[in-house]
Chain A
Amino acid sequence: MSDLAHSGPVVARTRPQIGVWAITLLVGLFLAAFLVVPVVSVLIAAFQPKGGGGFTLVNFADFFANDLFRRSLWNSLYVGLMTVLVSSLLALPLAYFTTRFDFRGAVLVQTLGVIPLIMPPFAGAVAMQLLFGRNGTINLLLDDAFGFKIPFMEGLNGVIFVESVHYFPFILINLSVALRNIDRAMEEAAQNLGSSGFRLFRRIVFPLAMPGYVAGASLVFIKVFDDLATPLLLNVKDMLAPQAYLRITSVGLADPMGYVISVVLIIASLGAMYLSTLSLRDKDYATVQRGGGGLIRRPMGRATAVMAYGTIGLVLVLVLAPHLGLFLLSIATIWSFAPLPDAYTLAHYGKVFSDSGQYVTNTLLYAGLAALIDVVIGTAIAYLVLKAKTPGAKLLDYGATAALAVPGVVLGIGFLRTYFGVTLPSGKSLAAFWGMIVLALAIRRLPYALRACTAALQQISTALEEAAQNLGATRARTIRRVVLPLMTGGIAAGFVTSFATAAVELSATMMLVQANADAPLAYGLYVFMQSPAGRGPGAALGIIAVIIVGLCTYLSNRIVERDQTGKSGAP
């Protein structure tokens, strides 16, 4: 951005300058090298015969001829849809209670919405096994008391259960926002015309909240479809993402099946995203609804209150279960075939800090660098799109956002395919260089950072910039002295969000980690959890991850809040 500082006064907005062009080009090259080329190379490989050259559909025929792959595809779809269903069952009543009633438990529900997100789902998987598994706490107690067990964690059930408890907040948050944005007059107008009760809910409230629900549901589906660590930790191998990983790591990069699975993963996530935009089409509700204010609030009757607190209590227990289990595991000597651990110790934390400190430092380094790249590129794209309006800027915006549709497994495979053959001066492959993990994380989190930066920039009125230019500031100096200071809050929030989510990302990372010394925390956690002896230290590592992400989430909320109160005085 410093080359912009000497580019002279602004003549007209329609004539972009060399500096702006240079930035457009650099961002474009970045996206091309680390998003477009890897993904396209995967697509090409899927349609090429083994060994390369020509075009063929034979790989897809092989895929569908194979019993294991067909079952994996079906299982992934089944788990994705069932997770959406179970998450909805958890989220719907909570969203309804908090938006419909004057309800003191609302704060509790808001907290519920964040807790699961501050832990990677696979970290909780092992803990859930100990609490809800065949010989876990709950089933041992049930067996003792009533003589039966519930197969919460058997096979696909386990994946669905763990993912639902982890991802239901996406539906809760989106649905609550949608309900809260409904103009109160929408409901009153219906009542005025004779509608009430469930009919009113079905005809007015539900359709208006539908886009929010679908957005949340499709996000859950995409996340679950792409998750490979949770099924692997629960020893479920016949799902698509785990299969892609296993093919590439066991059969090798030349095997076309990994690429075919990648294409199927991309199609599935594009399909879910398309469904979500479809439900939003022609529904620019915000322009018609002026008031907002949400549903008409009612005081809660005794029966409803009992039901509401009962539901919240149940969900709260479920949501806290993985955290609690993980914590117990991290301080347990032995915990097997018993409702609670036999004895307690702090040795696991000691082991993590003495032997595996590199996991923590690597994570801080990788996630920090990735978040930095994200906010720099995010700010640049936001500025190019909203203010400089360079031709091609929109394309960069679309490109960066398209990363949302690329499953982490696919990006990892793409990186391997594109950069494995490139050799560094040291003789190692470029794909084995830890910097590649950083770049993959940066691409994965870019859409979120970009959205935060765009939102921050959108709030800055053009008149503020024009005033600076009118008083003699060049475009570059205007950016530095007016635009960037006003964006700080948004950029900081974007950084922290990117950092926190990158710190627990595993799908892409798992493909790219070549040496234990280069591995981040999430990978270390995964490795530890593979063996029974590693579970204690693994859990300790998981608790450390929870603390890091929790602190970041808190920090980002504080930044956003302070930013908003700081600016509320301005018109």
Chain B
Amino acid sequence: MVSFDPNNPKPIYEQIYEQFVKLISSQVLKPEDQLPSVRELASTIRLNPNTIQRAYKQLENDHYIYSLPGKGNFVARADHVISAEIQRKTDELVSCVKVLKGLGVEDDAILAITRDTVKGVENNASS
């Protein structure tokens, strides 16, 4: 279900985190579905259990999953997943804007791109 690439400079817990986010946002894992136990996943993919624990903790902090002591980890309710996705995409947008500014793109141009994109989406939706 998930794997990691030791040649990727990204920390391994982040790699695991991102794959679960992908599985949850694409609804391969649906709300209330149980995630594999730390023990099971660690031994299957031959990875330190605490690395997986760290990824699960991060998923929980970001409201993608919730944990029930003694029972395991479960995918959060749909509205929680959606707000978590909104938060994550907003963060991405902010960092993209920062990069554009860093590259010397004018504020007005950035706003124009954003406005046009929003309009374009509206037009597509209405047609």
The answer to whether A and B belong to the same complex is no
CB within 8 Å of B: which residues of A? Answer: none
